[in-house]
Amino acid sequence: DGGITQSPKYLFRKEGQNVTLSCEQNLNHDAMYWYRQDPGQGLRLIYYSQIVNDFQKGDIAEGYSVSREKKESFPLTVTSAQKNPTAFYLCASSLPRGTDYGYTFGSGTRLTVV
């Protein structure tokens, strides 16, 4: 079955370390997104990519970096510059620009920085 795989489900890191969250999709979607969820707040957009080798900053990109070398993969790196990295991170994908059809979410990664 097609879908989005995020790994790992839970991740613990020491303060000051970079960490990379994986997101893989086999839906043949062109667009991919990273969202962050904090308690009591709606999901907020970190980065998105509409096509391979291209990506744009979202609303809260500071302290994060991404790459899109393959259509299927959109890894997110949480750098030591991110002031408050402990959160729930969700990856999503959708069909091409100009339509909302097929918006699909992964199961998320819960990152805890100690």
Options 31, 76, 78, 113; binder of other proteins; rule CB under 8 A = 31
Write out the DSSP string of 45-66: EEEEEEETTEEEE-TT-TTEEE
Closer of 48 and 74 to other proteins (Cβ): 48
Of the candidates 86, 41, 93, the residue with the CA atom closest to the CA atom of residue 63: 86
Using CB under 8 A as the binding rule, whether residue 1 contacts other proteins is answered as no
Window 40-69: residues binding other proteins (CB under 8 A): 40-45, 48, 50, 56, 58
Instruction: Give the span between the Cα atoms of 8 and 106, in whole angstroms.
Output: 11
Pairing type for strands 10-13 and 4-7 reads unpaired
In whole angstroms, how close is the CB of 32 to other proteins at the nearest point?
Answer: 10
Task: List beta partners, residue 56.
Answer: 48
For binding to other proteins (CB under 8 A), which residues are involved?
31, 33, 35, 37, 40-45, 48, 50, 56, 58, 88, 90, 94, 97-101, 103-108, 110
